[in-house]
Amino acid sequence: MAALTRRVRWPAWPSVVTVLAALVMPLAAALGVWGLGGGARAQEPVQPLVVDLSDHLVAITTAFSGTDVLLFGATDGPGDVVLVVRGPATRKVVRKKAQLGIIWANRDSVTYENVPAFYQVFSSRPLNDLAPRSVLSRLQIGTENLAFKKVDQSVTESFVPGFRAALVRLKQKEALYGLGTQPVTLLANRLFKADLHFPANVPTGAYSVEVYLIRDGDVVSGKITPLVVSKIGLGAEIYDMAQQQGYLYGLAAIVVAVVSGWLAAVVLRKN
Amino acid sequence: MQIYLPIAEMSVNVFVILGMGWGIGFLSGAFGVGGGFLMTPLLMFLGVAPPVAVGTGANQIVASSVTGVIAHTRRGNVDFKMGGVLLVGGLIGSSAGVFLFGLLQSLGQIDLAISLAYVLFLGAVGGLMAVESLQAMWRVRRKGGRSDATGAGRHGWIHGLPFKMRFRKSKLYISALLPLAVGFGVGVLTAIMGVGGGFIMVPVMIYLLGMPTQVVVGTSLFQIIFVTANTTFLQAAMNQTVDVVLALLLIVGGVVGAQSGARIGAKLRSEQLRILLALLVLAVCGKLAYDLVATPSDVFTLVVEAN
């Protein structure tokens, strides 16, 4: 009986200390913050922005035909939430056709680097009501604020904006860039969620999901969450073999074709 | 039912692809053409990138040609000797064509080159075949007999060339340089246009070499197996643009279609066969010519470029 009591009591003591400490520490921290006049905001125990995704991997399997990922999170109070989903940077050539005689042929081109393969903006309110242009431009929020890097051009400067607009428009046509913004649902000024849709033609690579908390036209807090879009299973193995062992892959493709052609001739003759 | 293609990087409906394979297999069996001149534009219409359409189309044609050749061999309609000589020229030509393809691609004009080549050759071949087969049909109706395109109209200088060879199946005694040159020329074009070349090869064999029509189809298919295998290999090794999942779906549809096509082809008279092929070739030619001349819906295009 005594042994039992001791066994219970002994470990019980430190836990009481821990509990006390846990109660006192934030109090002390809060007092400290009070004392410093709110200068040490970063030490606040409550994070202004907490974000997570229902899945950090978009797996492209053989049956893949697009998927949705749920983004959810919480803020420490009222404010607007803006999300930017950004795919890996790529290099793109925008070509423009012109009439040569009676035939339409490619003539001028502008080459851009740093073009996100995928780009979507989500917002709880229209972007222009949330923050001034300078803020949106700095964070590259909205297709008009994307900082493409022009590396080559065959036209004079005055024609370049037409090519840039065409790049965005063609990406929107492929459903890889969003048309305007999509909604972020706010609940009780604390919780928020958004459905991120990835179409069947989503490019693979490392994505980032940027979340900004905006109050009175200022970004109060930001979080970046990684997201990977990757081929999985048989499709991934076929892709890897094609990339790494092209010769073997080519031979295998020919063998598959010859054998199936021969098999068909044999089977269909018997029928 | 949707399936994701790992190399083409897109999701497609399985039954659409199977149906496409069947239709093209049917043409292959009936007319002795690989069907690439339809396959490449059709795949691109579905949204498959042009290089993947070319590489994968070639892979499918390997299979449908194997099936077709087996069917024609059973009927004794393949001249292997002629096919072999054409093939030597074809392999050299298609390898040379791959270099030309790369050059045009770097100039940004490969799309235009492909379209122009199609319009030019499909127009010329289709037009000539249509005129000739209509004349033949008219003659048949008047005389009530059967006409066969023989080498009667060939130029005299062709018989003066050295390295004469006897092709028993084709009932020809001509210079080996002739089929070699034909094979080379067609090989260059097939590499640029991404097709087996049957639609050029078949009329050339009938009108220039003077081969009997029954032997032409099987012999053309025999040659196409190897030329498209070469294209598949080069595309896979250099550009990684062969999608085996897409190719397999096309093959499954294609092998069934090829058998039905071979049966129909055997029933039709050669003039009828030729006028049908001519009309098909002219239809594709007309569509491509219209696309070149008509004002495009969007003058801008987007091209991915490797870093």
Contacts of B303 in chain A (CB under 8 A): 92-95
For B124, counting Cβ atoms within 10 Å of its Cβ (0-12 exposed, 13-18 middle, 19+ buried), the class is middle
For A195, counting Cβ atoms within 10 Å of its Cβ (0-12 exposed, 13-18 middle, 19+ buried), the class is middle
Query: What is the radius of gyration, based on Cα positions, of chain A?
Result: 28
| CB-CB under 8 Å, B255 with A264 | yes
- Exposure pattern of B268-291 as b/e (b: 16+ CB <10 Å)? eebbebbbbbbebbbebbeebbee
| pLDDT-based confidence at residue A33 (cuts at 50, 70, 90) | very low
Dihedral pair phi/psi, residue A223, rounded to 5°: -140, 140
Contacts of A171 in chain B (CB under 8 A): 302
Please state whether B210 falls in left (phi above 0), alpha (psi between -120 and 50) or beta: left
In angstroms, rounded to a whole number, what is the distance separating the alpha carbons of residues B55 and B247? 9
The closest CB to that of A104, out of B4, B296, B304, belongs to: B296
| Residues B41/B280, Cβ–Cβ less than 8 Å | no
One-letter identity of residue B226:
F
| Residues B55/B231, Cβ–Cβ less than 8 Å | yes
- Which whole number is the average pLDDT over B244-269? 84
- The SS3 assignment for A241 reads helix
Structural domains in chain A plus CATH codes = 1-45 (no CATH), 47-229 (2.60.40.2550), 233-263 (no CATH)
Write the CA distances from A173 to A142, A170, B301, B307, integer angstroms: 16, 5, 11, 24
pLDDT tens per residue across span B135-148: 887 877 766 544 44
| Residues A151/A113, Cβ–Cβ less than 8 Å | yes
Residues 82-141 of A with CB under 8 A from B: 90-98, 102-106, 109, 111, 113
The closest CB to that of A246, out of B237, B256, B298, belongs to: B237
User: Which residue, among B8, B25, B12, B18, has the nearest Cα to A261 in the 3D structure?
Assistant: B25
Q: How many CA atoms lie within 13 A of B245 on its CB side?
A: 23
Could you tell me what percent of chain B has a pLDDT over 70? 90
> What is the pLDDT, as a whole number, of residue B158?
63
Q: Among A155-159, A211-215, B114-118, which is the least confidently predicted range? A: B114-118
Q: Tokens in use for B256? A: 């069934």
The closest CB to that of A64, out of B4, B7, B116, belongs to: B4
| CB-CB under 8 Å, A94 with B2 | no
Dihedral pair phi/psi, residue A72, rounded to 5°: -140, 155
Best probe of the A interface among B1, B2, B4, B235, by most A CBs < 10 A, is B4
In angstroms, rounded to a whole number, what is the distance separating the alpha carbons of residues A121 and A256? 45
In angstroms, rounded to a whole number, what is the distance separating the alpha carbons of residues A224 and A86? 11
| Residues A135/A102, Cβ–Cβ less than 8 Å | no
> What is the pLDDT, as a whole number, of residue B40?
80
The closest CB to that of A201, out of B10, B67, B116, belongs to: B10
Contacts of B9 in chain A (CB under 8 A): 201, 203-204
| CB-CB under 8 Å, B235 with A261 | no
pLDDT tens per residue across span A87-134: 999 999 998 988 888 888 888 889 999 999 999 999 998 888 888 889
- Give Cα A53 to chain centroid, integer Å: 10
| Residues B262/B123, Cβ–Cβ less than 8 Å | no
- B306 at interface of A, judged by CB pairs closer than 8 A: yes
Contacts of B72 in chain A (CB under 8 A): none
- From start to end of chain B, where are the E strands? 2-5, 10-13, 164-167, 172-175, 300-304
pLDDT tens per residue across span A144-179: 999 999 988 888 888 889 999 999 999 999 899 998
Q: Which residue has the tokens 């023989």?
A: B150
Contacts of A265 in chain B (CB under 8 A): 66-67, 70-71, 255, 259
Q: Which residue has the tokens 């009997």?
A: B212
Contacts of B299 in chain A (CB under 8 A): 96-98, 104
- The SS3 assignment for A203 reads coil
Q: Tokens in use for A100? A: 């040569």
Q: Tokens in use for A129? A: 């009501």
Contacts of A106 in chain B (CB under 8 A): 108-109, 111-112, 301
The separation between the first and the last C-alpha atoms of chain A, rounded to the nearest angstrom, is 87
Nearest CA in chain A to B290: A103
> What is the pLDDT, as a whole number, of residue B42?
82
| Residues B201/B222, Cβ–Cβ less than 8 Å | no
Residues 9-28 of A with CB under 8 A from B: none
Residues 237-266 of B with CB under 8 A from A: 237-238, 240, 242, 244-245, 247-248, 251-252, 255-256, 258-259
| Residues B34/B231, Cβ–Cβ less than 8 Å | no
Nearest-CA distance from B177 to chain A in Å? 29
Alpha helices in chain A (DSSP H): 2-36, 127-130, 133-138, 160-173, 234-244, 246-270
Among A180-184, A263-267, B35-39, B77-81, name the most confident range.
Answer: A180-184
ipTM summary value: 0.79
pTM of the model: 0.73
| Residues B213/B178, Cβ–Cβ less than 8 Å | no
pLDDT tens per residue across span B21-67: 888 888 877 776 667 777 887 887 788 887 788 888 888 888 888 88
| pLDDT-based confidence at residue A223 (cuts at 50, 70, 90) | very high
Mean pLDDT (chain B, rounded): 80
- Which whole number is the average pLDDT over B219-229? 88
The closest CB to that of B66, out of A103, A106, A262, belongs to: A262
- Which whole number is the average pLDDT over B152-181? 72
Nearest-CA distance from A172 to chain B in Å? 12
In angstroms, rounded to a whole number, what is the distance separating the alpha carbons of residues A158 and A147? 18
Q: Among A64-78, B63-77, B160-174, which is the least confidently predicted range? A: B160-174
| Residues A209/A122, Cβ–Cβ less than 8 Å | no
In angstroms, rounded to a whole number, what is the distance separating the alpha carbons of residues B115 and B50? 12
What is the greatest pairwise CA distance in chain B? 67
User: Cβ of B162: how many Cβ atoms within 10 Å?
Assistant: 7
- Which whole number is the average pLDDT over B113-134? 83
Dihedral pair phi/psi, residue B175, rounded to 5°: -65, 135
| CB-CB under 8 Å, B60 with A95 | no
In angstroms, rounded to a whole number, what is the distance separating the alpha carbons of residues B191 and A58? 37
pLDDT exceeds cutoff 80 at B271: no
